[in-house]
Amino acid sequence: MFRRSTVVIAFIACTGFATSKFLQPTPYDRDTAVSSILIALGDEAPEHYIGTMDMEKVGMGKDIINLGGAYENGGATNRVSEHFVCIDCHNIQPEAPFADDNNPDSRLKYSIENNQPYLPGSTFYGITNRTSWFNGDHERKYGKELIEPARHDLVNAIQLCSKECSVGRMLTQEEMQAVLHYLTSMELKLKDLNLSEAELASISANGQTAEQKAQNIRLIKSKYLQGYPATFVEEIPKKERKMGEEGNLDNGKWIYEKSCLHCHSPQKTVTDRTLFGTGKDQKDFKWLASYFKKSNGGSVYWITRHGTASKEHIPQYMPIYSKEKLSDSQIEDLAAYILAESKK
Ligand code: HEC
Ligand code: HEC
């Protein structure tokens, strides 16, 4: 007996982080869905909740989000948009080590460490756990009438972005179900919450009173963003711009390649009509650097804060980067990289 328990303890010690938080007997593991814990504690399931995942629907949702439509006969059929796919603007992976972190510096660091795009939209990972969407200043772009129904209803938020942000059409009921199944496959797991051992023990404890359950529900919800804030800011005033003279070149390179070139690249249809995007072409860097002092569409300082509007003859547009998705100092990093490359 003695021997066996030593072996068990040694095993737990060796597997480190993965199990260190689970020394007490708990019904949960790292991959337990946060939504199922909340529901077990008595929280009400949201309207978009999907209890049992249907893998066929997950697959169809995956095609819609990643390829633009259900995939049949070697191609995406009946595309949601002729101009964009959802992953032009949204990641499908976590964007921070823990789900309560929305700092642009740690988001960029995480993107570099995990080799992920760095995009103007919020990640779809954990989106079914949120309780509000299109927060902050998005109302300024889309208007109250469109935003209000979407702010507390995920289905409406998806429809808004399918039609407006993607310059496409709304999803059919079948497509919506598929997309909800796929998004549920990337819901938050216990490992995404930065919980102390004591907090984990409290959440997992047997025989909790109603009061303790309510407290644990609040505790869990405090560990992830209920909605992503979005603040639109004006471009850095000309007099305050560093014009590429100061900034972190590695960050700037990453932003250029994993954010700007995510759309502005010759392989992408999104940028059919844009003026730069051959990637490493020095012409592009010289052209971009020549506009640093301007406040118009050529200037990286200006365009990141204003984006472009979708027009009849140019339906593809550039989204506004909120300050949460690209900070002023990250724009200076980008400018520093562009200037350095323009001189090579
Ligand atoms: C051209 C860029 C673009 C495309 C394409 C796009 N989106 Fe978005 N989407 C945005 C931006 C910008 C926001 C607002 C910022 C944010 O995500 O928090 C947004 C927000 C959302 C939100 C609310 C997110 C939240 O947490 O507040 C949902 C849901 C959404 N999009 C779904 C979709 C779906 C589904 C598609 C594909 C059919 C899609 N989007 C395509 C740019 C885009
Ligand atoms: C979601 C896709 C997308 C992303 C990401 C994006 N752009 Fe754009 N951008 C566009 C589109 C589409 C246009 C063209 C709009 C038009 O012609 O009206 C554009 C236009 C521009 C223009 C105006 C000149 C031109 O090429 O037409 C500049 C400059 C620019 N973008 C810079 C950037 C920079 C810098 C970044 C990265 C911080 C970036 N863009 C990220 C889609 C994107």
Residue 1 maps to a domain: no
In this structure, are 272 and 222 located in the same domain?
Answer: no
Q: Is 164 found in the same domain as 260?
A: no
Distances (CA, A) of 337 to 14, 243, 285, 304, 308: 43, 11, 9, 16, 23
For residue 146, what are the domain limits?
25-93+102-111+121-230
Q: Residue 168: phi, psi to the nearest 5?
A: -140, -135
Residue 7 included in any domain: no
The residues lining ligand 1, judged by C-beta closer than 6 Å to any ligand atom, are 80, 84, 86, 88-90, 120-122, 127, 130, 133-135, 138, 157-158, 161-162, 165-166, 228, 230, 319
The number of the ligand 1 atom at minimal distance from the alpha carbon of 85 is 5
Pocket perturbation via mutation, ligand 2, pick of 118, 264, 278 by most ligand atoms within 8 A of CB: 264
What is the per-residue pLDDT for 276? 78
| CB 304 near ligand 2, within 6 Å | yes
Q: Are residues 149 and 247 in the same domain?
A: no
Domain count for the chain:
2
The verdict on 224 and 246 lying in the same domain is no
- What is the model's pLDDT at position 75? 77
Atom 16 of ligand 2: nearest residue by CA position: 317
Given this model, what pLDDT does residue 266 score? Answer: 73
Residue 2: its pLDDT value, please?
Answer: 40
Ligand 1 centroid, distance to 128 Cα (angstroms): 13
Query: Do 164 and 243 reside in the same domain of the chain?
Result: no
Q: Which pLDDT score is estimated for 11?
A: 40
Write out pLDDT tens, residues 123-140.
Answer: 999 999 999 999 999 999
Q: Are residues 225 and 242 in the same domain?
A: no
The pLDDT tens digits of the residues spanning 199-246 come to: 999 999 999 999 999 999 999 999 999 999 999 999 999 999 999 999
Residues 70 and 142 in one domain: yes
108 Cβ closer than 6 Å to some ligand 2 atom = no
pTM above threshold 0.85 = yes
Instruction: Calculate what percentage of the chain has a pLDDT beyond 90.
Output: 80
**pLDDT tens-digit profile of 64-123?**
999 999 888 777 788 999 999 999 999 999 999 999 999 999 999 999 999 999 999 999
Q: What is the pLDDT of residues 161-202, one digit of tens each?
A: 999 999 999 999 999 999 999 999 999 999 999 999 999 999
**Pair (193, 220) in one structural domain:** yes
**At which of 189, 204, 230 does a domain end?**
230
Residues 43 and 76 in one domain: yes
- Point out the ligand nearest to the CA of residue 310: 2
Question: Is the pLDDT at 9 greater than 60, yes or no?
Answer: no
**For 11-39, what is each residue's pLDDT tens digit?**
433 343 444 455 555 689 999 999 999 99
Answer yes or no: is 126 within a domain.
Answer: yes
